[in-house]
């Protein structure tokens, strides 16, 4: 079993819908990352968080350390949000040097 | 003003050849990484260098040899390429001054196709 599990693996939505992607992890972490990969292939860091909630535009990321769970929300979704969203964790401990362990990714398609 | 750059972007080669991918970051970060993304889009760490020192070497065939001539560069050399090496390889960098906070910046990726 992967140390980082995402759901759903595929998500289709209509423009304007509220979207939630979930991430659960089974290891001690120093931080959780949400990444976005567009069809062109580049990977962009959306959020890095170790507690609470962060918001950037229409994107909101939350984390519950006790439950080892994080969610990424997109409000008022738009076709340009179509991408692969990847949850990743930095494992706690001085020898990890920030290496990321990744979930399988969620393929989001937003139709107009 | 690219923060993390990789060359080449695409690489098509025959089985058995040797090839290199180069990565450079201009962010002043102290740590660089190589990740491999397979055909199912799953990403996995391969190597990491901190201040030119190899610190993470996951279970990767020894045909793969990273080299870091300085903190800003991390290259990946692959010998005797095999079909299974076909993937997208991403370089990334971060500042691991504190082990507990490190946003990573990714390069554009190199799509390697082995025929």
CA distance A83 to A104: 13
Is B104's CB within 8 Å of A42's CB? no
A91 versus A50: the higher-pLDDT residue is: A50
Whether A18 and A73 have beta carbons less than 8 Å apart is answered as yes
pLDDT in tens, B40-80: 889 999 999 988 888 888 878 899 999 999 999 999 999 99
Average pLDDT over chain A, rounded to an integer: 92
Which pLDDT score, from 0 to 100, does residue B53 have?
85
Specify which residues A71 forms β-bridges with.
A22, A62
Contact (CB<8Å) B99/A96: yes
In terms of CA atoms, which chain A residue is nearest residue B87? A41
> Radius of gyration (Cα) for chain A, nearest Å?
14
Q: Residue B106: its chain A contacts at CB < 8 A?
A: 35, 42-45
Output the pLDDT for position B98. Answer: 57
Q: What pLDDT score was predicted for residue B82?
A: 96
- pLDDT band at A96, cuts 50/70/90? low
Residue A7: exposure state from Cβ atoms within 10 A (0-12, 13-18, ≥19)? middle
Distance from CA of A112 to the nearest CA of B (A): 25
The pLDDT assigned to A95 comes to: 64
Inspect the interface and report whether the beta carbons of B55 and A97 lie closer than 8 Å.
Answer: yes
Q: Give the span between the Cα atoms of A90 and B102, in whole angstroms.
A: 8
- The answer to whether A39 faces chain B, any CB pair under 8 Å, is no
How far apart CA A44 and CA A86 sit, in angstroms, is 10
- Per-residue pLDDT for A9 more than 70? yes
Instruction: Report yes or no: B113 and B15 within 8 Å, Cβ to Cβ.
Output: no
Question: In the prediction, which pLDDT does B52 show?
Answer: 83
The whole-number pLDDT of residue A85 equals: 97
**For position B57, what pLDDT does the model report?**
82
| pLDDT (0 to 100) of residue A108 | 97
Compute the average pLDDT of residues A77-88. Answer: 96
* Residue of B9, B11, B43, B71 to mutate when probing chain A, most A C-beta within 10 A: B43
How far apart are the CA of A75 and the nearest CA of chain B, in angstroms?
24
Do A33 and B55 lie within an 8 Å CB cutoff? no
**Quick check: B25 pLDDT over 90?**
yes
Percentage above 90 pLDDT, chain B: 69
* Alpha-helical runs (H) found in B1-84: none
Cβ(A45)–Cβ(B105) below 8 Å: yes
Inter-chain residue contact B56 with A104, CB threshold 8 Å: no
């Amino acid at each position: 079993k992967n140390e980082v599990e995402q759901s759903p693996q595929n998500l289709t939505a209509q423009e304007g819908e509220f979207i939630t992607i979930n991430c659960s992890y089974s290891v001690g972490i120093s931080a959780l990352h949400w990444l976005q990969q567009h069809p062109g292939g580049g990977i962009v860091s959306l959020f890095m968080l170790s507690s609470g909630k962060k918001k950037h535009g229409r994107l909101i990321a939350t984390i519950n350390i006790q439950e080892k769970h994080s969610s990424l929300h997109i409000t008022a979704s738009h076709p340009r949000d179509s991408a692969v969203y990847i949850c990743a964790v930095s494992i706690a401990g001085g020898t990890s040097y920030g290496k990321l362990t990744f979930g399988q990714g969620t393929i989001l398609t937003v139709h107009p | 003003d690219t923060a993390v750059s990789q060359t080449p972007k695409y690489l098509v080669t025959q089985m058995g050849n040797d090839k290199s991918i180069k990565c450079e970051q201009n962010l002043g970060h102290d740590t660089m990484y190589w990740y491999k993304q397979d055909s199912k889009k799953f990403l996995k760490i391969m190597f990491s260098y901190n201040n030119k020192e190899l610190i993470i070497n996951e279970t990767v065939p020894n045909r793969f040899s990273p080299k870091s001539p300085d903190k800003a560069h991390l290259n990946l050399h692959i010998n005797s390429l095999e079909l299974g090496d076909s993937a997208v390889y991403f370089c990334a960098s971060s500042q691991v001054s504190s082990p507990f906070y490190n946003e990573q910046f990714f390069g554009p990726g190199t799509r390697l196709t082995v025929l």
